[in-house]
Chain A
Amino acid sequence: ALEASMTEIKEYIARLSLECTNWDQLLLHHQKEAEKISRTLEEAKIADIELDSTLYLQSSQSEILSTKPDYQKILDSQNEVFNCMEMVIDELQGSIRLLYSFMEDTTQFFKKVS
């Protein structure tokens, strides 16, 4: 009877160990899959490959990602700002020169008159 009990206990232990191993293997399998996905994306990033937008438009942040502003346009518009400022400063410079030249002329005129 003792031997039979021991055999039964050993069977239980073997069954439980096997189930443990199976669960561990399944978990490992899923973890490896996740790592593979992560590695593929990292490699694409390093190779500077543009990510397919359809990929992340399925994600929870699709709304934010689809409303991304055109940063290049913003940077390019800075040139326009400087061009505009160049014109403004030129204009101001011109106006002030004009005023000074008028004052010069007027000074000369009064000298002549006096």
Chain B
Amino acid sequence: SINPLLYETQFFGFTPQTCMLRIYIAFQDYLFEVMVAVEKVILKKASSLPGSTLSAVQIRGSTETFLRFMRERFNRLFVKMEQVLLQLVLNIPPNILLPEDRSHEKYPQGREDFHLLQQEVEQLRLRYKAELGAKHALLAELEVQKVTQARLKKTLHWFDGLGDAHGPLGLGEMMAFLIQHSGRLRSITQDVTQKSK
């Protein structure tokens, strides 16, 4: 039976099998590259050696034999390496719960728990409705505030037109002067009236 290694895939973001396959292919590619390089060197050396009877075809044959041999060795070793990596590295122990799955720790055990979950969902729905209502109410108040502030600023602006906070410039002083002056005039008038009598 296949173990699909789903939890490991969730954690790593790739399947362990794909990972091993990629490693295998990488090794294979490298082996092939090395063989090609080695063959080139041998060809060069063979052609430069005096009295060499080695042909390119012979060298190619040997290279292919060597490659086959290396491949077989590698495949055997890789089986062991794959086992170790899958068991010890690309593996999540069965008792481990990933942090992202903490909400599933207490999986609903039956009808009761499911019923509780449904109640919770309904409560959340009501809370959301209330919050949305609050948002509309707050936005409405902001609109009313704008209108009210504009009206109040208009009134203040009207007061500005009348003059500063103590009335039109100098009104207070002028009034005080007039009253003082009137007081003096009154006493002078009384004085003159008496003297003229």
Contact = CB atoms under 8 A, between A and B. Distances in A.
Interface of A: 5, 8-9, 12, 16, 30, 33-34, 37-38, 41, 45, 51-52, 55-62, 64-65, 68, 71, 74-75, 78, 81-82, 92, 95-96, 99, 102-103, 106, 109-110, 113
B148 A103 contact: no
A64 B134 CA distance: 10
A82 B132 CA distance: 40
A5 B132 CA distance: 52
B132 A41 contact: yes
Contacts, number: 91
A58 B127 CA distance: 7
17 contacts: A34-B128, A37-B128, A41-B129, A56-B133, A58-B126, A59-B127, A59-B130, A59-B133, A65-B134, A71-B144, A71-B145, A74-B152, A75-B147, A95-B175, A96-B175, A96-B178, A113-B192
Interface stretch (B18-26, B73-81, B135-143): B135-143
Contacts of B1: 8
Given A61-B138, A65-B137, A74-B148, A55 B155 contact: no
Interface in B135-194: 136-138, 141, 144-145, 147-148, 151-152, 155, 167, 171, 175, 178-179, 181-182, 185-186, 189, 192
Contacts of A74: 148, 152
A51 B38 CA distance: 84
B192 to A, nearest CB: 6
B21 to A, nearest CB: 15
B185 A106 contact: yes
Interface string B3-36: 0101000000000000000000000000000000
Interface string B116-131: 0000010001111111
B196 interface: yes
B2 interface: yes
B126 A9 contact: no
B149 to A, nearest CB: 10
A50 to B, nearest CB: 10
Nearest to B174: A96
B192 A55 contact: no
Contact of B182 (A68, A102, A113): A102
B4 A106 contact: no
B84 to A, nearest CB: 23
A96 B181 CA distance: 13
Nearest to A38: B132
B136 A41 contact: yes
Given A58-B127, A78-B151, A106 B137 contact: no
